[in-house]
Structure 1
Amino acid sequence: GRDGKQFHDAISLSGRFFREDVYKDFGFIKLDLPSHGAIRKGKYHGDAIAFVKDSECVQFISYGDTNEETFVGQSGPCFGIRSTNIGVSEPFDMSAGYSLQLHGTGRYRANFTWWATPVP
């Protein structure tokens, strides 16, 4: 969170992938989190999300007040690592059912970019 403290327990992604066969090594994941407090949104909030595999920080992404805001991991596998801001955020009043998503074509993370606005 903004104050450097973890505000949500870890969520295991094991077994949560669906349609792993969509394209070779790619799969998709959807997490239904509580609507209040799990992920904050809006201009005056910001969060970072750590993707960890076998105790290794694989990816540490964030969004916040500005497209430049980043966070430094304060504990766990991402300790001391600065997050990469995704450059987009959800408006505070965004309706349920919308999310920030990557889009693109390719085999590598670099082939995908974040949508500028949340999509259903």
Structure 2
Amino acid sequence: MTRTAGVATVTDADFDAEVLGAGRPVLVKFTADWCGPCRQLAPVLSAMAAEEADRLKVVQLDVDTNPEITARYAVLSTPTLMLFRGGEPVTSMVGARPKRRLVQELDDALQDRPAR
């Protein structure tokens, strides 16, 4: 899988510990090597991982080599970005997006209010 700088890779084996058990919100990028928009999103997520490190953990999961987690969250398209808070998915976004829009969408989801 293509490495995204500053973004850890998780697998079916360690997803629950790394994502659901994390002490802060986690943004998971469901990705694949053959996915062009996933590559477009890589620098955006690298920047997010660096700038938001104090309040957000950013990881990626390869859908081709991790079918269990991909199926558990019914991921049908790449890239899918899913934000987990307290072990639960609180929002899901499909497709590449500019950093400004991603930050805005995450800010809304990270506010301390019940998930929609």
Q: Same fold (TM over 0.5)?
A: no
Report the TM range for the smaller structure's normalisation.
under 0.3
Between Structure 1 and Structure 2, the one with more helix by share is: 2
TM-score by length of 1: 0.26
Between Structure 1 and Structure 2, the one with more strand by share is: 1
TM-score by length of 2: 0.26
